[in-house]
Structure 1
Amino acid sequence: MALASTEKVILGSIAFSIFWVLAVFPSVPFLPVGRTAGSLLGAMLMVIFRVITPDQAYAAIDLPILGLLFGTMVVSVYLEKADMFKHLGKQHNLPPHPFLLALASSANIGSSATPIGNPQNLVIAVQSKISFGSFIVGILPAMVIGILVNALILLCMYWKLLSIQKDKEDAASEGVDEEDMSSHRFSPATMSHCTSPNLQEWNSRFEPMDIQSPPATMNGDANHVESLRNRLTSNENEIRQVLSSAPASARNSTASKETLHDGASQKKHETVPSKEVVSVNGLNDVFPGTYSEGKETPASRYKTILWKSRVYLVTIGMLISLLMGLNMSWTAITAALALVVLDFKDARPCLEKVSYSLLIFFCGMFITVNGFNRTGIPSTLWDWMEPHAKVNHASGIAVLAVVILVLSNVASNVPTVLLLGGQVAVSAAAISAAEEKKSWLILAWVSTVAGNLSLLGSAANLIVCEQARRAPDLSYTLSFWNHLKFGVPSTIIVTAIGLTQIR
């Protein structure tokens, strides 16, 4: 594709640059509108500058990808509701940065192994006519090694950070345990049972008042103290009788409340309500039926297990359908609607957790990137690099990888595949049929791993970043530069090692 008119090239480059700046720096001082508004602004400028028509802008929106994203986000909401992620993850007060990078980068690398792993692979599988099995055999070794190398890079870069945080956590936990022990040691609520030394201690508090010859003005107080002492002794005997008749496990958790009336000898004992008892082990034997409130009944437990099983089965069915080659978008949407029906509740709370701002961002990005492609700049770049990008030479593979890597991060990986796929295949087919197949696999591998280079390189990066920012218990923003520090070395090393494994 030749370059468009000078006016379209300049205006299209300006619109794309504005989109790129606002996507990379969502809080720039001159226009702090954020990524989503930035993508819509870039799309609007493409239409206003007449780089593309309104109809072309609407046609540029990839509805299957949006449907796939929406469906998978709804499914993930129900998986979270079914405690799947609670069982898979453990909280250790560790920094979220390396774990978010691990999640996004591993998702990108892992998606390269199958034709349905990501949208660009699906395009390649349709255009190249490569079978499902041949695709897996060709890229699976590179994917496995890439995952291991990526994990090793993460450990090397963030080992010190994780170790320091872990030491702080251990120190904090030790301090909390010691403090808890101290507080429990002197807390009346944690006393296991009332023994005679405790009662003797209470009695000793009144010893100063036990005077041989009390003054006349203190006769009333002395009589009152003597009455209290007699009552405490009587209480001690009654408590011993209760403890001797109760099971051993209940002795450590019984307590009594007494109401003393001046001048009265009658005492009334009341059991402490269940919410005030620290340990209730064995109390049902002594006080049957008292502590059954608040416990999950077998029926409710069975109902919860049944509902969670349905969520997991629907998710597994969705994955099997995708592996069978069914339409990715409608498969994900069908699974999402199945979960909504099976939940049998108002779906609004779950649907509100879907990141609609991310879907709008993709709409604007599709239009903006399509307009930039229509300027002819990406195709002109390939025409200049094509003679040096022959796949039958190591140097040609390196050049091709660099071109795909750059374009995937500038124009997105799916448009890069749509733009370069046919041209790369034609160039490789002139050598041999085997080289043509290899060129498609190289395009799939590099365009997918290229998503790890920057925060804007793939949908997985943006989804992880957005979900981490929206999480109420995390609210962490993965910045563009923090991602780039890890993304550049990881992408270069993983891509290079993987290229040696492509067959």
Structure 2
Amino acid sequence: GNLLSWKSRGSKDLLFRVCIVSAIASALFTNDTCCVVLTEFILKVARQNNLPPQPFLLALATSSNIGSAATPIGNPQNLVIAVESGISFGQFLLGVFPAMIVGVLTNAAILLCYFWKYLSVEKDQEGGQPAGPEVVADDEVTSHRFTPARMSHVSSLNPDDMDCISEPIIRSNSVRSTSANENLRSRSVNSEADIQLAIKSLRASSMSHEMVEVSTVTDRRDEGASSRKFTRTASQQRSVIIEDSPPSPASNGDKEKEDEVAEKRWRVFVWKTAVYLITLGMLIALLMGLNMSWTAITAALVLLALDFTDAQACLEKVSYSLLIFFCGMFITVDGFNKTGIPNTLWELVEPYSRIDSAKGVALLAVVILILSNVASNVPTVLLLGTRVAASAAAISHDSERKAWLILAWVSTVAGNLTLLGSAANLIVCEQARRAQFFGYNLSFWSHLRFGVPSTIVVTAIGLLIVTSY
């Protein structure tokens, strides 16, 4: 999220970043997870910059689907292909990753061309001014208002102290209110005794450590000398108060808050480092050919252990209904296979869809595209996987691996054709609609107008790269 908005140079730069970041993240953490995490953040960034949300939401959904095609852990259908074909993580990555990079760049270029006019509009022309400065200014004004906390030193003094401090001031005010021609009567005030009394009361008080300054008014004839003497005495007493007074509770509280902030930052740093290292270790283990399921589970368990919190919160986020849905779907597809209908349909298409010719690859891609949007991509892989592989195996062993990679690429990119073609599309649409402050409705037709040309172009370019592997 921080990478998307860091030193962004404008709307087009932000759109390109969304495409790249979502593609890479979906290849590592699945396209559905990427869409769940980034949708609301992208909406927030778009609203704050007065940008239309539609191109950024489409960039997230389409780039997540394209990026997830690069690895066996990017989406469910790729995992099914990796398990049934026996293709290692490294071979899968080498076969599809170049097509994924070119596909993401092509998709980003189409997005920029399609929404160039919308992304070129200046902020001032699109809507109101940002509300940030006004909010900050209001907060600053509020922070300078008087509060009881700022006047705590008044209530912390004893009544006797207040009498000692206020009595000379009250008397001086009464003298000043009389006639100017009346002579002032000299008064002798034992200022040193008053100051000592104030010092004792301040030391006994744990609520306030404010300095006390007493001013007296004497006769005009002795005003100069007595005021200089009093100033020296008061300054000496203030130095004694500052030296002898214990540290204030406010300073201790600030120090504790600083320690808490530093400790929190350290924990966040350690946690982020652990996540990066564990993710890197998981990728290395997958590239070494270790079992993908056990590797992913082990990495998840290590993160749960390092979190030092109850795992109940994580277990509550598991979508058990989705797991049951996949179990039921596998059972249904297997039952449909046993009816013989898929075999009959495949026998009609198979002679014209062999991957040893460009026409055969094109026809196979069209079949996968249509079936993926009608029956979803995972059932399509379950229905066509073994049949496509058997047809390609009759040509050569390398053709069999290539057929699996073609199936992975086309069935994944096919999700961009319509809004209903991929679960990631539906997640982006639903998350955007339910966003609390930045809600946006991504309609079926707005997705279709961009999805059709983008899917056709990206699929065709990717097929050229995959078939040349």
Shorter-chain TM band: 0.5 to 0.7
CA distance in 2, matches of 1:335, 1:455: 33
Query: 2:370 matched to which residue of 1?
Result: 406
Q: If each structure's helix is expressed as a fraction of its own residues, which one has the higher value?
A: 2
Instruction: Pick from 98, 102, 123 the counterpart of residue 55 of structure 2.
Output: 98
Match of residue 148 from structure 1: 105
Q: What residue number does 2:64 align with?
A: 107
Question: Residues 18-58 of structure 1, C-alpha deviation per residue, up to 9 Å, x if partnerless?
Answer: xxxxxxxxxxxxxxxxxxxxxxxxxxxxxxxxxxxxxxxxx
Q: In angstroms, what is the RMSD of aligned CA positions?
A: 4.9
TM-score by length of 1: 0.55
Equivalent residue, structure 2, for 1:308: 272
Instruction: Give the 3 Å change call, closer, same or farther, for CA 450–295 of structure 1 in structure 2.
Output: same
| C-alpha distance in structure 2 between counterparts of 1:112 and 1:311, whole Å | 23
Number of aligned pairs? 347
After superposition, residues 329-368 of structure 1 pair within 5 angstroms as: 329-368=293-332
In structure 2, do the counterparts of structure 1 residues 87 and 476 end up closer, same or farther at CA, with 3 Å as the change threshold? closer
Paired residue type of 1:390: R
CA deviation after TM superposition for structure 1 residue 143, in Å? 1.7
- The equivalent position to 1:120 in structure 2, one of 73, 77, 80, is 77
Partners in 2 of 1:288 and 1:140 — Cα distance?
Answer: 57
Name the CA shift for 1:130/1:165 in 2 (closer, same or farther; >3 Å). Answer: same
Q: Is the 8 A contact 1:379 1:419 kept in 2?
A: no
The residue number in structure 1 matching 2:144 is: 189
2:224 is matched with which residue?
none
CA distance in structure 2 between the partners assigned to 1:347 and 1:398 by the alignment: 48
Listed one character per residue, the Cα deviations across residues 329-359 of structure 1 (whole Å, up to 9, x for unaligned) are: 4433333333333222233444444445544
**Are 2:355 and 1:391 aligned?**
yes
Aligned-residue identity in percent? 61
- Is the partner of 1:172 in helix, strand or coil? coil
Distance, in Å, in 1 between the alignment partners of 2:92 and 2:256 is 58
Q: Distance in 1 between matches of 2:335 and 2:383?
A: 13
Of residues 158, 161, 164, the one that matches 2:115 is 158
Separation (CA, whole Å) in 2 of partners of 1:441 and 1:480: 29
Tell me the amino acid that sits aligned with residue 101 of structure 1. Answer: L
| Structure 2 residues not aligned, in runs of 5+ | 1-25, 147-173, 181-209, 213-246
Secondary structure of 2:465 counterpart: coil
Asked if 1:461 is matched to 2:461, the reply is no
Q: In structure 1, what is the Cα distance between the partners aligned to 2:140 and 2:69?
A: 58
Equivalent position amino acid for 1:409 in 2:
N
Relative distance call for 1:459 and 1:292 in structure 2 (3 A) is same
Give the C-alpha shift of residue 406 in structure 1.
1.3
- Tell me how far apart the structure 2 counterparts of residues 300 and 372 of structure 1 sit (CA, whole Å): 55
Distance apart, 1:400 and its partner CA:
0.9
What is the Cα deviation at residue 394 of structure 1? Answer: 1.9
Per-residue deviation, 1:128: 4.3
Distance 1:301 1:384, change over 3 A: same
TM-superposition CA deviations, 1:369-421 (whole Å, max 9, x none): 45554554443332222222132222221111101111222223233233223
- How much does 1:450 deviate? 1.4
From 258, 265, 269, the counterpart of 1:295: 258
| Most deviating of 333-342 and 161-170 | 161-170
Q: Relative contact order (alpha carbons < 8 A, sep ≥ 6): 1 or 2 greater?
A: 1
In 1, are the aligned partners of 2:70 and 2:96 still within 8 Å (CA)?
yes
Offset of residue 109 of structure 1: 1.7
SS in 2 for 1:500: helix
CA distance in 2, matches of 1:329, 1:438: 23
Structure 1 position 445, deviation (Å) = 1.7
Deviation at 1:151, TM superposition (A): 1.2
Q: Where do residues 102-501 of structure 1 align in structure 2 (5 Å cutoff)?
A: 102-130=59-87, 132-164=89-121, 166-167=123-124, 171-173=128-130, 177=133, 179=134, 189=144, 291-292=254-255, 294-297=257-260, 298-465=262-429, 467-468=431-432, 472=436, 474=438, 476=440, 478-501=442-465
CA distance in 1, matches of 2:401, 2:315: 42
Q: Partner amino acid for 1:111?
A: S
Q: Which ranges of structure 1 fall in alignment gaps of 5 or more residues?
A: 1-68, 192-219, 227-255, 259-283
Task: Report the CA distance shift for 1:353/1:123 in structure 2 as closer, same or farther (over 3 A).
Answer: closer
Distance 1:120 1:359 in 2: 14
Tell me which residue corresponds to 1:25: none
Q: SS in structure 2 opposite 1:295?
A: helix
Contact 2:43 2:432 in 1 (8 A): no
The 5 A counterparts of 1:19-38 are none
CA offsets 1:235-284 (integer angstroms, 9 cap, x no match) = xxxxxxxxxxxxxxxxxxxxx9x9xxxxxxxxxxxxxxxxxxxxxxxxx9
Shift in Å at residue 88 of structure 1? Answer: 10
C-alpha contact 1:446 1:495 (8 A) present in aligned 2: yes
Q: Give the conservation status (yes or no) of the 8 Å contact 1:184–1:190.
A: no
Change (3 A) 1:421 1:150: same
Amino acid aligned to 1:380: T
Contact 1:119/1:414 (8 A) holds in 2:
yes
**1:367: how far off?**
4.7
Structure 1 distance, partners of 2:308, 2:76, is 32
Aligned-residue offset at 1:129: 4.9
